[in-house]
A and B are shown apart, each in its own frame.
Chain A
């Protein structure tokens, strides 16, 4: 597809379970970002990958959150031992490198923790 693809689109899970969210960026985009959108906190930056460089993890809210990017393309965001406050929409974006490049967003994964 032409855009950023995220899966699943919706995920409902019980508190304490682990979840994996997937992001397939636009082909050729070396920069990949994860954000979280919630009613209380708005849009928050989580993590940034650029090519094969070590990711900028400065936005991850706790050590239960981790992300990887395999082969410079697909990325997975993993949340371990989910808590109710993890309920949010998780958005992925990709772009060409450089700070003047617009970010292209997927439609997100809506995560609900019961």
Chain B
């Protein structure tokens, strides 16, 4: 079942601008992860944030997590054409390792 809901479903911006995507989820989590998927390819892990963390950075990526609101955001700064892809948040339920529950994704288009 889908737990995460990304917002917006689609986003088109100019190269160099920042892109922000949001994710909401419903149940308690162990951690939240963001993945990228290029057309016709598998998912690539971007960043993981634990339930007791509030913010995490990796290169041009910044992720925040608000467990009280059951929401997360992914910020990509100084976007590039190569960032064009679909982005998914995924949650791991509390209680132990298991399969990830994915949202429906945000399709990001970077206009050169």
B interface residue count range (under 10 / 10 to 19 / 20 to 34 / 35 or more): 20 to 34
From B42, B92, B96, contact of A107 by CB (8 A): B42
A46 & B99 in contact (Cβ 8 Å cutoff): yes
CA distance A85 to B41 in the complex (A): 21
CA distance A48 to B2 in the complex (A): 17
* Most chain A beta-carbon contacts within 10 A, residue among B33, B35, B42, B98: B42
From A41, A50, A103, contact of B100 by CB (8 A): A103
State the interface size on chain A (CB cutoff 8 A).
29
A91 & B42 in contact (Cβ 8 Å cutoff): yes
User: Which of B10-18, B19-27, B61-69, B102-110 lies at the interface with chain A?
Assistant: B102-110
A2 close to chain B: CB less than 8 A: no
B40 close to chain A: CB less than 8 A: yes
A98 & B104 in contact (Cβ 8 Å cutoff): no
- CB-CB under 8 A from B31, the residues of chain A are 99-100
B42 & A42 in contact (Cβ 8 Å cutoff): no
**Given A48-B98, A98-B97: A103 and B45 within 8 A (CB)?**
yes
A65 close to chain B: CB less than 8 A: no
CA distance A98 to B97 in the complex (A): 6
A31 & B97 in contact (Cβ 8 Å cutoff): yes
Residues of B in contact with A (beta carbons under 8 Å apart): 1-2, 30-31, 33, 35, 40-45, 48, 50, 88, 90, 92, 96-105
Q: List 25 A-B contacts (CB under 8 A).
A: A31-B97, A33-B99, A35-B99, A42-B2, A42-B102, A43-B102, A45-B98, A45-B100, A45-B101, A46-B99, A48-B97, A48-B98, A56-B98, A56-B99, A58-B98, A58-B99, A91-B42, A93-B42, A93-B43, A97-B97, A100-B48, A104-B45, A107-B41, A107-B42, A108-B41
